Amino acid sequence: MTAGLPATDPTFATLREFRPLLLKAHKILMEAEKEAYEATYGPIAHKGEYLRLVLNHEQFSWLRPISQFIVQMDEVLMAKQPQPAEKAVELHDQARHLLQETEIGQAFQQQVAAVASTNPEMAALALRMAELLSSEP
């Protein structure tokens, strides 16, 4: 069995760089989805209603696995116990699979492209995330 490494070890460097990019992209995409929802159904009355929609409405369903993956990365990167290097590789592979190779990934890529066409920050985030996913952890 391999001894665990602190998540600050260089083995985890790609994930440490990737996580805030994904978090920011997720936030931008949530806002875009909220705007699309409101364009169809009208204004969301309050934050509690917005949370209910994010958790339950079909329009936001494609974002839920991404939210769950961010939490999973946080659990590893912020763990008090050293993590095996294999965990960094596993999370990197999961990110690549989730965000590029699945139906969720297709929706993610389409929405990123749509938002990036009018949002330079999203364009830069998308480019850097793609670079990190194509690299080795």
Q: Write b or e for each residue in 59-89: b if 16 or more Cβ atoms lie within 10 A of its Cβ, otherwise e.
A: ebebbebbeebeeebeebbeeeeebebebbe
The two tokens of residue 9 are 């070890």
Query: Do 41 and 89 meet the contact criterion of CB atoms below 8 Å apart?
Result: no
For residue 124, pLDDT beyond 80: yes
pLDDT tens sequence across 17-65:
999 999 999 999 999 999 999 999 999 999 999 999 999 999 999 999 9
pLDDT tens sequence across 67-100:
999 999 999 999 888 888 899 999 999 999 999 9
- Whether the pTM exceeds 0.85: the reply is yes
4 DSSP 8-state letter: P
Which residue in 79, 72, 71 sits closest to 8, CA to CA? Answer: 79
Q: What is the pLDDT of residue 38?
A: 97
Look up residue 21 and give its amino acid: L
Three-state DSSP class for residue 5: strand
